[in-house]
Amino acid sequence: MFGDYKMHPDSGVNPPYAPAYPVEWECPLRTLEVVTRVDAGKIDALLKDTPFERVNDRVAFRFMLSPGHTLALHSGEMFDLMVTVAVRYQSLFTQTHIFMYCSDPMGICAGRELFGYTKKDTHYAFEETDDGQIRGWVRRRGVPLVDFHFTPDASAPRIPLTDEQTQPGGEIHVRRLPHPEKPATAYADVVYRRTPLRYTAPLPGRIDWTLHASEFDPIAALAPEVLGAHFMTSEVYGGGFAVEDRRLLTRLHP
């Protein structure tokens, strides 16, 4: 179920720690990225409980399909929606996900517990046609969040997340353990990871989308202005001690 490779001795389906999930996985990746501009004050409000420095006012909405994901072979694929901003911390030029949705329970658990991701459960559609169009939607517990339709267009602008020649790499998050007796943080640290990716050249296009208002998933409240959209793929994507750069950077609390 978990791919044609040997797992780390302390990993696997019943490791000597909780929760019981593997930390190794692999799959290809198909990513529709919509780069937007968002009021900087809204981004700062979402980063206020982190030590990260915001780079600019751009936010990327990444609709990510992972066919044959080795943690989700029972369903054939895994889907993530990452709402991402570029940040700096210490010497790192990297990214953090201010909102994130995932279709697979094991992916949600591993991402949240190991790396502090903001992952929530979701249902989705991600349908590609032979001419390169992509239609889909994201819903959480029956509540619509996004409907989208991407059309390739070579004349469309190709806008990256930042203006730097080298784009931010990896992902960084504050990982928190809630206190068992009160609404407070019992433990917090900063975790960084960088998974292997070899993306194809971005295929630019036009995005027609609707963000739906939701009290519990307020991504529409960002009121993003679309700057550009593009599609890209990677045959290399995976996690685990043998392929990732994983670092526990700083202990924040206590």
Write the pLDDT tens digit of every residue in 39-57. 999 999 999 999 999 999 9
> How does residue 33 score in pLDDT terms, banded at 50, 70 and 90?
very high
Do the beta carbons of residue 150 and residue 134 sit within 8 Å? yes
pLDDT band with cut points at 50, 70 and 90 for residue 242: confident
CA distances from 139 to 99, 171, 226 (A): 14, 24, 21
pTM listed for this prediction: 0.94
Report pLDDT for 15.
73
CB-based burial, 129-161: b 16+ in 10 Å, e otherwise = eeeeebebbbbbeeeebbbbbbbbeeebeebbb
CB 239 within 8 A of CB 195: yes
The answer to whether 175 and 240 have CB atoms below 8 angstroms apart is: no
pLDDT band at 185 (very low <50, low <70, confident <90, very high): very high
Share of residues in the chain with pLDDT > 70 (%):
95
Mean pLDDT of the chain: 93
Residue-range domain boundaries for the chain = 26-253
Is the model's pLDDT at 219 over the cut of 80?
Answer: yes
Q: What is the mean pLDDT of residues 1-27?
A: 71
In this structure, are strands 58-67 and 53-54 parallel, antiparallel, or unpaired? unpaired
Choose the CATH number for 26-253 among 3.10.310.30, 3.40.50.10300, 2.60.40.60, 2.40.400.10: 2.40.400.10
Q: Percentage of the chain with pLDDT > 90?
A: 84
